[in-house]
Amino acid sequence: MKNILLILFLSFQTGTIADPASYLNDLKTEMRKEWPKNRSINLVFHGHSVPAGYFKTPVVNTLEAYPYQVLRALKAEYPFAVINIINTSIGGENSESGAKRFETEVLNHKPDVLFVDYALNDQGIGLKRAKVAWEKMISIALKKGIKVILLSPSPDQRVNILETNNMLEQHTGQIKNLAEKYNTGLADSYGLFRQKVLSGESISNYMSQVNHPNEKGHALIAGSIMRYFK
């Protein structure tokens, strides 16, 4: 009996990344409802220039950025749903700045799902400070019953994506650990781009400038998010 309790305790402590097949089951049920039983669904994207839609700066290609690619895919999957894409992202911002305005500029939109994408810019503040900011936002959101999906960084071509333990890989590892600790969703953008390079493709095929994906790159990110809505 003691061994069983110990196993259960350790399992609870370890945590797991939320299962894409079931994490948003309640929300998917809501999105299948027809008028007048349906309601508005709020998807909030909080981060830096990539979710904000910056392609080749200063061009902001909102409709081809991954939040709106997700919207198009969702409308194909859920034709009766009223879905609001709310973008609180700011170009150049890191997670510390995002955390400071989290309660006044993010939670006020009453998210059903919150997406957090700051790791690319968090290279400038380092892992320790980034972790504090991410944990603050995650814990507040979860206490309010909001589903959270964390995003690992999209590429920066100044960082060798195949180099072991590079800075973006370190931030990716930290984000995965946070997803496990808090049992949130994870869209592993970094892993998807890395697989493309491992398969022999040039990362430049997916980029509009050194640190911003193009439409094709945003499609990779959107596809990773859509796993949670299938």
Task: Examine residue 63 and state whether it is found in any structural domain, yes or no.
Answer: yes
Which whole number is the average pLDDT over 65-76? Answer: 98
Residue 188 in domain: yes
**Residue 165 vs residues 76, 94, 125, 137, 194: alpha-carbon distances, Å:** 39, 21, 17, 26, 13
Is residue 182 a part of any domain in this protein? yes
- What's the whole-number average pLDDT of the chain? 94
Across residues 157-164, what is the average pLDDT? Answer: 96
**Residue 126: inside a domain:** yes
Q: What pTM value is reported for the model?
A: 0.92
The answer to the question of residue 4 being in a domain is no
Q: Residue 178 pLDDT more than 50?
A: yes
Residue 82 pLDDT exceeds 50: yes
**CATH code of the domain in which 105 resides:** 3.40.50.1110
Structural domain total, the chain: 1
Asked if the structure places residue 155 within a domain, the reply is yes
Structure tokens at 30: 């809501």
How does pLDDT run across 3-61, given as a tens digit for each residue?
A: 443 333 334 445 899 999 999 999 999 999 999 999 999 999 999 999 999 999 999 99
Domain annotation covers residue 36: yes
Q: Which domain holds residue 138?
A: 21-229
Report yes or no on 6 lying in a domain.
no
- Give yes or no for a contact between 152 and 195, defined as CB atoms under 8 angstroms apart: no
**Pair type for strands 82-87 and 113-117:** unpaired
- Please compute the mean of the pLDDT values over residues 96-118 and round it to a whole number: 98
Q: What pLDDT is attached to residue 15?
A: 85
pLDDT at residue 84 greater than cutoff 50: yes
